[in-house]
Amino acid sequence: MKQFDFLVLGSGIAGLTFALKVATRGRVAIITKKNRADSNTNWAQGGIAAVTSKEDSVEMHVRDTLTAGAGLCREAVVREIVSEGPARIQELIELGTHFTEREVPNAPGRHELDLTKEGGHSKRRVLHAKDATGAEIERALLEAIARAPNIEVFENHFAIDLITAHKLGRADGNRCLGVYVFDNETGRVETFVAPVTLLATGGCGKVYLYTTNPDIATGDGVAMAYRAGAPIANMEFIQFHPTCLFHPRERTLLITEAVRGEGGRLLGADRQRFMHRYDPRLELAPRDVVARAIDSEMKRTGADNVWLDISHQPAAFITSHFPTIHERLLRLGIDMTREPIPVVPAAHYQCGGVVTNVDGETEIAGLYAVGEVACTGLHGANRLASNSLLEALVCSHRAARKVLAADWPKLQRDIPLWQSGHADDPDELVVVAHNWDEIRRLMWDYVGIVRTVKRLQRAQKRLANLQEEIQQYYWDFIVTADLLELRNIATVAGLIVQCALTRRESRGLHYLLDQPDPDPAWAQRDTVLRKAG
C-alpha cells in the first residue's frame, strides 16, 4: 500500500497546478495513465481566455460566457472564475510560461501580450503561445513539478476505481479513502491511500468515432466518480469542434478556431461561402452553430467535408500565426497559405461532468474534481472557446486553497486488496476491440451533433447490452488498460445518452430534432444522474 497526503489523478493543467500548490504542505502522488505530458492540455492550440487589456472588462467576458452557455451557466460561478483569471495567468507567467507578445503600436521596442479573438468573444482576450498554447503551459508546469521536492509522478499508472467508505461498507458518511491503480508495466493493481484525492482526468472525446482528443480522453474520471456514487451532470452537452482536418491518415488534427478568428472562411462543396445562410456572425458564430451549419451543409450536399480557407491572408502572416498547423498540413501535402483545408466537425469537449462547486468539492468528502472532468456551472449548455484552460487553472488553485485550509482525517490503513479475475484468453480479447469500435460508431451515428429521441433510444438499448457483456468480461478477465477504458467509455456513453433523453428540448450543444427550441422550464435546470443503490 502506498500512502500519501494528496493523490492527484491526471497530469494536465488541472492536476499539475493543484499538485504544485498542495506540495507545499505534504507529499503528493501524481498518477497518470500514460506519459506525463499525455493530456488534452498538451494539445490545446488556441489559447486561454482572460481579461488582460484595457479595452476589455470582466463584465464583457461574463456576458460572452453566459451568452454561449445558453441560459444554463451559473452566473456567480462564471463571475468568480472570470474575475480570478488575470491573477492566475500572472502566476503562470511567473512560473515560466511564455505567451506570444507583439510590439506595442507606435511604441517601438515595447511589447505587450498578443491577444487573439475566437468565436463568441466580443473582445480580443485570448492569450496564446503561437498555436501551441497547451504544450507551452504543460512544459512550464512539468518543469516546475520536476523541481518540486514533494511530488512523485507515477507514469503508466491507470486509476481503476476510487476506494470509498460506502464501498467498504463503513457507514459514517461517504468519504474517499484512496484509489486502486493498475500499473501498466508490472500488470499489478496497487492500492494508493490519502485523505485527499483530486480527479483531474480530463474529458471523454474518445467515446466518439471522430474526435480532436488524444487517446487518454476516455472519461475515466466521470465513470469512476459515478461508480463511487457522486452525482454527474449535463453530459448531453458535448462540444463538437467545427473544424478537424478531414484526412485518411490524420484523424485528430484540430484546425484552431483562431484560423476563423484571423479571417478564415468556410466554403462548401461548390467552394462558395455558406455561413450567411445560418448565422449573421458568419464564421465567428459560436462553435455549436458553426458545427451544426457544417453538419447540415454536408448532409445537404452529400459531401464528406467542407473547406476552411485562409489563403487570402499573406503567407508570412499565416506561417507566423499558425506554424504548427502549417507544418503538419504541409507534411500531409496541404499548403494552407495557397489552398483551402478539408475539414469536418469532431467531438471536442465535455461540458458536463462530476458535480462540483467552484472550489472543486464533490459530494464525496475528501474527493475533489477539477478541469474538464468537473461540472462547475461555468460552461452551461455550451463552452465559450478558451474558457476551459481558464476554468482548470482557477478551480485547481481554489481547490488547493480549500484543501490546505481543511483538517484532514486520519489515514485509513485497513483497506482490502484489489480482487481481479484470472481468465486470459487472447481470442476473447478481440471482443474488447470490437466493442470499443461499436460504441464509438454508435455514439457518432446516433448521439452526434443532431439527435432524435428514436435514435437516442436505439443507442440506449444497444449500450445496455454492451455494458452487460463488458461487465462480465470485467469480472472474469485479468485487467488490461484496454478493458478498463472500454468499461469507462461504455459507462460514459450511457450517461451521455441518459442525459440527452432526459432533456426534452434543444439548448446550446444539445440539439433534438423532435424539440428544436429551448423550453423555458429547462432553463437553469441541470440533468443530474446518480448511480442507484
Residues that bind ligand FAD (CB under 6 A): 9-15, 31-34, 38-41, 43-48, 133-134, 158-159, 200-202, 212-213, 216, 220, 254, 349, 371-373, 386, 388-389, 392
Whether residue 228 contacts residue 364, with contact meaning beta carbons closer than 8 Å, is answered with yes
CA 188, CA 157: separation in Å to the nearest integer?
10
Concatenated DSSP letters for 445-488? HHSSSSB-HHHHHHHHHHHHHHHHHHHHHHHHBPP-HHHHHHHH
Exposed (0-12), middle (13-18) or buried (19+): which is 16, by Cβ within 10 Å?
A: buried
Q: Active-site residue 300, yes or no?
A: no
Residue of 386, 395, 384, 324 lying closest to 360 (CA atoms): 395
Q: Record the cell numbers describing residue 298, joined without a space.
A: 454536408
Positive or negative: CA dihedral 322, 328, 332, 333? positive
Centre a 10 Å sphere on the Cβ of residue 468 and count the other Cβ atoms it contains: 10
- Which amino acid is located at 216 in the chain? I
Q: Record the cell numbers describing residue 141, joined without a space.
A: 508546469
Please give the C-alpha separations between residue 514 and each of 279, 380, 502, 510, in angstroms, as whole numbers: 22, 22, 13, 12
Q: Which H or E run contains 111?
A: strand 111-113
Nearer to ligand FAD, 38 or 114 (CB): 38
Centre a 10 Å sphere on the Cβ of residue 59 and count the other Cβ atoms it contains: 11
Q: Which of 74, 287, 292, 383 is catalytic?
A: 287
Positive or negative: CA dihedral 327, 332, 334, 340? negative
Please give the C-alpha separations between residue 167 and each of 164, 225, 321, 415, in angstroms, as whole numbers: 5, 12, 51, 11
Give me Rg for the CA atoms of the chain: 22
Spell out the residues 6+ positions from residue 446 whose beta carbon is closer than 8 angstroms to its own: 455, 456, 458, 459
| Alpha helices per DSSP H over 162-264 | 220-227, 257-261
Nearer to ligand FAD, 38 or 361 (CB): 38
* Percent composition of the chain: helix, strand, coil (DSSP 3-state, to 5): 40, 20, 45
CA 206, CA 185: separation in Å to the nearest integer?
23
Helix (H, G, I), strand (E, B) or coil at 196: strand
Phi, psi of 107 (to 5 degrees): -140, 75
Nearer to ligand FAD, 9 or 306 (CB): 9
Q: What are the residues facing 240 on neighbouring strands?
A: 347
CA 198, CA 155: separation in Å to the nearest integer?
16
CA angle 83, 85, 88 (to 5 degrees): 130
Q: Which H or E run contains 48?
A: strand 48-49
Q: What are the residues facing 179 on neighbouring strands?
A: 162, 192
Helix (H, G, I), strand (E, B) or coil at 60: helix
CA 197, CA 217: separation in Å to the nearest integer?
19
Enumerate the active-site residues: 287
